Structure 1
Amino acid sequence: MKNSSLALVVALCSPLAYAFDANIVSITDSRFGAVANDNIDDSAQIQAAINYAVSNNKSVYIPAGTFNVSKTLDITQLKGNHNSRIKIFGEKRELSTLETSSDISLIKVAHGVELHDLSLRQSAGYTQGKAIDIPFASYQSNFSKLNISGFDKGIYGKWIIWSRFEDLFIANVNVGIELHGNGQAPAYWNLEPGGWFNNVNVFDNVYVEKSDTGLKLAAMGSNITNSTVQNSRVGVEIYGPAEHYTWNNQISNFYAEGVQTVFKVKNSRSLDINGVFAQGGKSSSRATAVIDAENGGVITIKGMTGQDWWTHSAILKNTYLNGHVVAIGGTASLDANSTYSNGQSKQTAAIALPANSSWVALPDSVSIAGNSTYRVTISGLRDGYEPVLEEYTIFNWNGVSRYGKISHKSGNGRVKFKVESGKIFAQLAYNGGGGLAGGKVTVEKLH
């Protein structure tokens, strides 16, 4: 009796136990007849299992193996978008695979759907189709522990609300996750039939590599956390239409490597970014920018670290950026309606100026942002013996800069300045002898 009980417990704890659960149907059940690893199309068999599960309020189990699919598996086929709330899951995502070589949406879903523990694979040899298509709304859905590869779009949908995307590995796609509005246009908020933004969604532990864009979201109130994008053109793109901006999105604990533009923002009221590692490129092949924002509202960034080289730390148009963007060699590019405040009233760096009237770029840690006024103090030794302590003001307004001398306690008042794209250049207008050595420059924002 004890041995029999033990055997039953073991059976119920194994993957095969799904066959004994009355609330679960397997696609390989004799009623449906899908067969793994035979390289024969299983579309009709899997669809039959899905339709049975929808009609009878059951879940669908996909055992280990590869099942070939040539037609879209449509969860909404029988009961439409609102009444097809089922769960489809595999044994493990490394073991249970749905594979297609057709230009299709592999799985079509809507409200309240769960997809777990599966590999969804496009085997055509070039990107086409979608792994998961949500053509009309998805409330309280959950997509987790999925491997997705080879598609044009990994997950593609509109009007997604209160849903979770977690533990996803997406590779070799044009876009990893794209939640759009209507067709290719951004959504409007609560203006039927125009549609809605995708809102209050969570993206947790999402990994995307070898894409054009990792995550592309017309979203509000959404949270991207513990996620990574590698070897892609854009990491995260958040956008809205000109008439209805997005707002209250958050990105935290994000890692980017081999990404040309980490965050691309357009038509947003607010975005919080907290905890980012952004790795650029070689000095001879720099990544483009950490942040590229147009009509970006207020972007607040904290806890950023980075390495390697960038062309720009930030590209800003009509955007207020608050926080320090780490981008080695990367200068900020701002228009007249933008401000980049790194949260420091004083910025200090070492400086040396040659005695040949050459312009020298000050370190990136001291910079000019927006329409502002700064006090600049320079100290050091000229010619190895003459102490220098001079103060200047720099006015930067609508892209035009000029400087004026406040005082010089010692030295001859020969330092000149210019500002290009937010970067300060200094010149020691002095020929002969030695230049300014062992110097220090401090830039203090006054207004």
Structure 2
Amino acid sequence: MKAVPPIPLTPPSSISRNEGPLSRVFKGCLGTLDANCIEKLLLHCGGALERNDITLAQQIMWVLNNVASSVGDPNQRLTSWFLRALISRASRVCPSAMNMEASLGAHVARVRSISVTQLAGYVDLLPWQSFGFCASNGAICKAIGSSQRVHILDISISHCMQWPTLIDSLSKRPEGAPLVRLTVPSTRPHVPPLLSMSYEEVGHRLSNFAKSRDVPFDFRMIPFEDLPNLRDGVKFHHELLMEQLNPSVLDLRDDEALVVNCQNSVHYLPDEALGIDPCYRDEFLERIRGFHPTIVTVVDEDYDLGHASLSSRISSCFNYLWIPFDALETFLPKDSCQRLEYEADIGFKIENIIAFEGLQRTERLESGTRLVQRMKKAQFYSVPFMEDTAKEVKRLLDEHASGWGMKRDDDMLVLTWKGHNAVFATAWAPQPFQ
């Protein structure tokens, strides 16, 4: 499990004297609280909230508050964000929990805006995103071959940080660089980190970079006013995205190799668990297949976090998101502002997973194995990563802490931390229509 030391904790005296519900929760975790004991407390708290037993939930939160620390070891830091998420959930159903929120000093995670320079540092901090960039770019270069015109439809949350490396690679092609069109939908889930500049400015910077590499380049963001059927009223991200994904709006052309790039984005589309018919996730893949792309790259975090049960989500989330907290411990001091901001972004994800339900719970991760099944059901076939791409990914990981590794699956490359799956990368092409 988590390779972090146990946390010393002196339990409140009332627990040792009382044989009520809280003492039974705490039993077996006296003296020290390791990761397993913390997880048990979180699960009992989640169970109490599911039963609307706010009194017991608040008692457990007080115990967790004695463990949590935003500047402690990885377990303490992770616990602090789980505590905030649980308080956030409790405050939605019980006004008295708001007092708990204030007295514990907990707060809701906020989305921050950062500069391009800060974003570059964010991407470089862990290989969490750059792993997918590197794997996808290798697959894209192989798939487009010597095509002279390439259209990239970038459906991601990475603010186009992937493309300078690809542009640089294309500039070195023996047959010369292709004309590259990059199309970015204007809709994006409201998740951190946000960029403090417009996408028009991002496109301008990319165009200047491409010009410096002698790569013909055209950038286009699809504005909402381009949508012919946009109706009045509030719309969710997935509804807006689907309206932007039509051939006329995208200006698809037969003489171009079409690349559809999905970096950490598919899981923001509602899955079948919400009971929406048709399932937006499957409809999205069918829509993409209908574009006849040359290649589709899908990268995402490799864990199932979409359970209907709160307790199941708490357990899965705790046993997955310890990875970035543990990895950051290896090279950043406890009071590092960069570390605190990165962890706050993970805290935003934890709060969404724990505190929200229905369409408001947008963090609906599914594992790489489940994504593979979904892609094959949508009649895509897996495109294997070439050995050169795998070697390039390994060179990237060598620049980071020794705990990072990579393993190959039949359909995936998988980023690992101390042997635990973190992020998967896949590449796909559509089966021919019958």
Report the TM-score range of the alignment, normalised by the length of the smaller protein: under 0.3
Name the TM-score, length of structure 2 as normaliser: 0.25
Q: Which has the larger radius of gyration?
A: 1
Which protein has the bigger helix share?
2
Which protein has the bigger strand share?
1
